[in-house]
Amino acid sequence: MLGVILLLVILYTNMLKGLRGLGLTLNLDFLQDEAGFDISEGIPYEPSDVYLKAFWVGILNTLKVSIIGIVCATLLGLLFGIARLSSNWLIRTIATAYVECFRNVPLLLQILFWYTAVVGQLPRVRESIALFGGVFINNRGIYLPSPEPTAGLRIWLGFLGAGLLLAVILYVVRWRKLRQLDRPGFRAKWALPAFLIVALCGWFLAPSRPFTLDLPVLQGFNFRGGMRFSPEFSALLIALSVYTGAFIAEIVRSGIQSVVKGQREAARAIGLKESQTLRLIVLPQSIPIIVPPLTSQYLNLTKNSSLAVAIGFPDLVSVGNTMMTQTGQSIPVFAMIMVSYLVMSLTTSAAMNWYNRWINRVGR
């Protein structure tokens, strides 16, 4: 105990001495100074804004790439995790090759590879690769059509609300009926189609379509309109999704395999169909096993997004780094970075713990 206190005291006095040597004091006043550096993407920001605003842009950029990355990585992981259990030898082998190749190569190397060797080698703006008439890929980024809300959106939202109400009622009715019959079944069997039909009717009955597509159009030397993913963002997103997807695939595979064979056989013995076995027997038992390691993969992806600093995507760490070199206030900036990541980690774990409890309550 004494030793720990002594160590902290020594470190603290050393820090003060070291800071004095550099002519710095510990305070957060610098956050209200003008940042003076530009940030290439994110929410609207001017170099004349203060450091605090710049840091906020960095946080939002980290969140943006992490959230989209988590969605993509989960989809990839699910796809390849299930593919690894396929009865088809070819599919199984492809999935294994994917997992082993991307898991065993450093993420930073993969990010640099995607950035310089793939995204960086895309054709120039005038020779853009056009897909489906609305997607354009070139060395300035990936341009996608973006949905623009119109006046009809409100009416459609009204339809959606009514559909949701109808769906809830049908869900409860079906649930009660199933309970009465004491049989397993798909509870949303009536609710889901009903909701979809109402939503579709609303889409066509509204005076104008709820959304119009804002297509990117080549004007002069660049594309205007639509959404743009910068090359840095695209490379980072691809690398993070593919890398984390390989880990998630392994988690999904081992989670499904951990359900003992006897359970499947017993399910077949009592006459459940293949789909029912999966939904009622296998998944309820494997999801509680899958969720905890999945959470830590989500957190890893969020933390790994900090490698953006290597290709110049202005994430939290990258912006923080610029702030440090400009102001020399390394200790407060480090503290801010750490606190930001800790808040993200704790929020994600809390959400996933809640989900885990909910799953456990329903499943068992």
Partner 1 sequence: MRKAYYTVEERELTQAMKPPAHTKGPARWIKDNLFNTWYNVLLSCLALICIFFISKALLTWAFTEAKWGVIPANLQLFGVGAYPREQIWRVWSVIYILCVLVGLSAGMWGGLVFRFAVVLGGVWFIGALLPFELSTRGWFLGAVAITAAALFLGRGRTALRPWILGGWLLSFPLIMIVLRGFGENSVLTSNWGGLLLTLILAVVGIVVSFPLGVFLALCRQSNLPAIRWVSTAYIEMVRGVPLITILFMGNILIPIFMPGLDINQVLRMGLAITFFSAAYMAENVRGGLQGIPRGQHEAAQAIGLNYVQTMLFIVLPQALRSVIPAIVGQFIALFKDTSLVAIIGLIDLLGVARSVIANPDWFGLQAEVYLFAAIIYFVFSYSMSYGSQEIETALGVGEH
Which positions lie near partner 1, rule CB under 8 A?
Answer: 1, 4, 11, 14-15, 17-19, 21-22, 86-91, 94, 100-101, 103-110, 112-113, 116-117, 120-121, 303-304, 306-307, 309-310, 317, 321, 324, 330-331, 334, 337-338, 341-342, 345-346
- Shortest Cβ 131–partner 1 spacing (Å): 17
Smaller CB distance to partner 1: residue 118 or 130?
118
Collapsed DSSP state (helix, strand, coil) of residue 133: coil
Smaller CB distance to partner 1: residue 170 or 340?
340
Smaller CB distance to partner 1: residue 55 or 341?
341
Smaller CB distance to partner 1: residue 102 or 195?
102
- Shortest Cβ 241–partner 1 spacing (Å): 17
Collapsed DSSP state (helix, strand, coil) of residue 230: coil
- Shortest Cβ 345–partner 1 spacing (Å): 5
Phi and psi of 172, rounded to 5°?
A: -65, -45
Smaller CB distance to partner 1: residue 85 or 197?
85
Burial of 336 per CB tally in 10 Å (0-12, 13-18, 19+): buried
Residue 77's nearest CA partner among 291, 261, 249, 268 is 249
Phi and psi of 200, rounded to 5°?
A: -65, -45
Smaller CB distance to partner 1: residue 115 or 143?
115
- Shortest Cβ 3–partner 1 spacing (Å): 10
Answer yes or no: are the C-beta atoms of 185 and 178 closer than 8 Å.
yes
- Shortest Cβ 119–partner 1 spacing (Å): 11
Smaller CB distance to partner 1: residue 227 or 346?
346
Phi and psi of 146, rounded to 5°?
A: -115, 140
Answer yes or no: are the C-beta atoms of 106 and 247 closer than 8 Å.
no
Smaller CB distance to partner 1: residue 146 or 330?
330
- Shortest Cβ 151–partner 1 spacing (Å): 43
Could you give the CA distance from residue 88 to residue 105 in angstroms, rounded to a whole number? 27
Answer yes or no: are the C-beta atoms of 299 and 349 closer than 8 Å.
yes
- Shortest Cβ 88–partner 1 spacing (Å): 5
- Containing H/E element for 223? strand 222-224
Rounded to a whole number of angstroms, the distance between the first and last alpha carbons of the chain is 45
- Shortest Cβ 55–partner 1 spacing (Å): 14
> DSSP characters for 264-328?
HHHHHHTT--HHHIIIIIIHHHHHHHHHHHHHHHHHHHHHHGGGGGGTT---HHHHHHHHHHHH-
Answer yes or no: are the C-beta atoms of 82 and 281 closer than 8 Å.
no
Smaller CB distance to partner 1: residue 206 or 337?
337
Answer yes or no: are the C-beta atoms of 73 and 99 closer than 8 Å.
no
Phi and psi of 171, rounded to 5°?
A: -60, -45
Bridge-based pairing of strands 211-214 and 146-149 is antiparallel
- Shortest Cβ 310–partner 1 spacing (Å): 5
